[in-house]
Amino acid sequence: MARYLITSALPYINGIKHLGNLAGSMLPADVHGRFRRAQGHEVLMICATDEHGTPAELAAAAAGQDVRTYCDEQHLIQRVAGEAFGLSWDWFGRSSNPPNHRLTQHLAEALEANGLIEERVDRMIYSIDDKRFLPDRYVEGTCPHCAYPKARGDQCDNCGRLLDPTDLIEPYSTVSGSRNLEVRDTRHLYLLQTKLEGRLRAWLESKTDFPSLARSIALKHLDEGLIDRGITRDLSWGIPVTKGGFPRPGFEDKVFYVWFDAPIEYIGATVEWSEQTGGDWERWWRLDKGADDVRYVQVMGKDNVAFHTVSFPATILGSEEPWKLVDVLKAFNWLNWYGGKFSTSQGRGVFMDAALELAAPDYWRWWLTANAPEGSDTAFTWELFQTACNKDLADILGNFVNRILKFTETRFEGRVPEGGEPGELEEKLYADISAAIAEATEQFEAMEYRKAAQAVRRIWVLGNEYLTEAAPWTALKTDPVRAAVIVRTALNLLPLCAAVSGPIIPFASATIAGSVGLTTPLAWPSTDAKAELSKLAPGAPITVPEVMFRKIEDAQVAEWTERFGGAEAA
């Protein structure tokens, strides 16, 4: 068995996350982690809140709190929301915790020692009305490359180019909207990424396992030409530059840039896990301590790819220390709200806490996985959500589970029947199920989420088709032994459905497994369907759960549209 280190992009601290954040990073990381655990692999799944930078300062000020108190509260809110969605992190850390401070300062020292940090005088945007230097994300303006009018000071969301605030045309402060800006001198530290361009390209070109979206974004940035990247900011909240073993006169009031320290928190959070559980973090991250056999998987939205394939690897490679680098980076396009963007800052869309007020987590987990924004952006609408959940979860899976369990309860005294031998229908079922398991396994391993969900759904469909064609209610009238074979086979499909569905809909998986006396998580099934469908002991009791998936009614959709908006909200 292999070892898998899985991280998802760190959710930012400024408020509960929307469904787009869930769909593009945290949920697919969890689905993959659950799948690998079911296969029997050793998995460490790490996430954390990203807590530094200006947005945290501004959000805290808006809430009337100091930044530490605000981050304390928001971290707990995000952790509880993630757990409610079934996100099975081994550790959910915080970038403001001491391990990340120590590691960030240590890596800065290593880069300095290797001649990869340079002090420069910058010409930066200063807002006279706000009385502060504006970090890059708090300056917007027109992109000089594509003329997009709302480009941020660090990146243009339209063309994807990395920017500096001084590149923008007609910039303005997003703190106040003021255009009363001027360029002032300030000293900052730069990571000399240009010195690492050859090593970065060689590393990226060796990543043949990278899905095409991540690989194309990464190489695009190299092809356009690397720039050296500022790694400090004029802020009070963050990891101080001059503490630890990195003294820098004149930098006492500066902190490291959030995009420098945030990826380091993947390691920092693992150290937190180690300190709290006694686990050995080094065997996951240090090649000289056993991490050479780890397969490291990162999951994120496409807007984070450049930082994870250029800036963070530059930090790791430039340190000349034996750190583990990512093996597979799975990137996602956008989940859109009726064609427009979900937005935390603008409160547009459905957010994780509100989503759970409307429907159980498995409804969301299923829809977001089955409609993952992989090859292109995905549009969320209430009508699509209702249709898919009603058809897939209620009409197919829920119907199959309820039909066979109710029939067993009323006609076989609630126990797995014995006697009889499989016939032609069962042999056909074995072949079809074996092929579907093989397909599901292949797609889960490839992290092709839509295709994996389709393969799982195919197994649910096969169960319904088998039950309809075999018709145990008819066979019972003339051939009770034949009816027993059918019912026993169909009941054995339940733990199989629970096992293959577990990575996506773990709560329903537990209910299905419990109906035949099993507990989850179940092991991932082999492709020998005949063996998989012969595991329940004859005579074993079954229980009939309450309705697993209640249909979403038109009245609910109307109510949700009224509350959250629909097409007009975008």
Residues 259-274 have a mean pLDDT of 98
Residue with tokens 């990340």: 100
Q: What's the rounded Cα separation, in Å, for the pair 165 and 133?
A: 11
* Contact call for residues 261 and 100 (beta carbons, < 8 A): yes
pLDDT band at 549 (very low <50, low <70, confident <90, very high): very high
pLDDT in tens, 384-421: 999 999 999 999 999 999 999 999 999 999 999 999 99
More confident residue, 62 or 260: 260
pLDDT band at 244 (very low <50, low <70, confident <90, very high): low
pLDDT in tens, 299-312: 999 999 999 999 99
* Contact call for residues 467 and 491 (beta carbons, < 8 A): no
pLDDT for the residue 570: 44
478, with CB counted inside 10 A (0-12, 13-18, 19+), is exposed
What percentage of the chain exceeds 90 in pLDDT? 85
pLDDT for the residue 370: 98
Residues 463-467 have a mean pLDDT of 98
The SS3 assignment for 5 reads strand
* Contact call for residues 166 and 124 (beta carbons, < 8 A): yes
pLDDT for the residue 250: 85
pLDDT for the residue 6: 98
Residues 548-554 have a mean pLDDT of 97
* Contact call for residues 318 and 264 (beta carbons, < 8 A): no
The SS3 assignment for 227 reads coil
Give the ranges where 326-423 is alpha helix by DSSP (H): 352-358, 361-370, 382-388, 399-411
pLDDT for the residue 345: 64
pLDDT band at 249 (very low <50, low <70, confident <90, very high): confident
Contacts of 146 (CB under 8 A, 6+ apart): 156, 158, 159, 161
pLDDT for the residue 569: 47
Q: What's the rounded Cα separation, in Å, for the pair 402 and 75?
A: 40
pLDDT for the residue 325: 97
Q: What's the rounded Cα separation, in Å, for the pair 286 and 288?
A: 5
How many CB atoms lie under 10 A from the CB of residue 418?
Answer: 14
pLDDT for the residue 245: 63
Residues 204-226 have a mean pLDDT of 91
pLDDT band at 182 (very low <50, low <70, confident <90, very high): very high
Residues 220-229 have a mean pLDDT of 91
pLDDT for the residue 132: 85
pLDDT for the residue 187: 93
Residue 568 has pLDDT above 60, yes or no: no
Residue 268 has pLDDT above 50, yes or no: yes
Residue with tokens 């963007």: 341
What are the strands of the beta sheet with 169-173, ordered from one edge? 151-152, 139-142, 169-173
pLDDT in tens, 491-507: 999 999 999 999 999 99
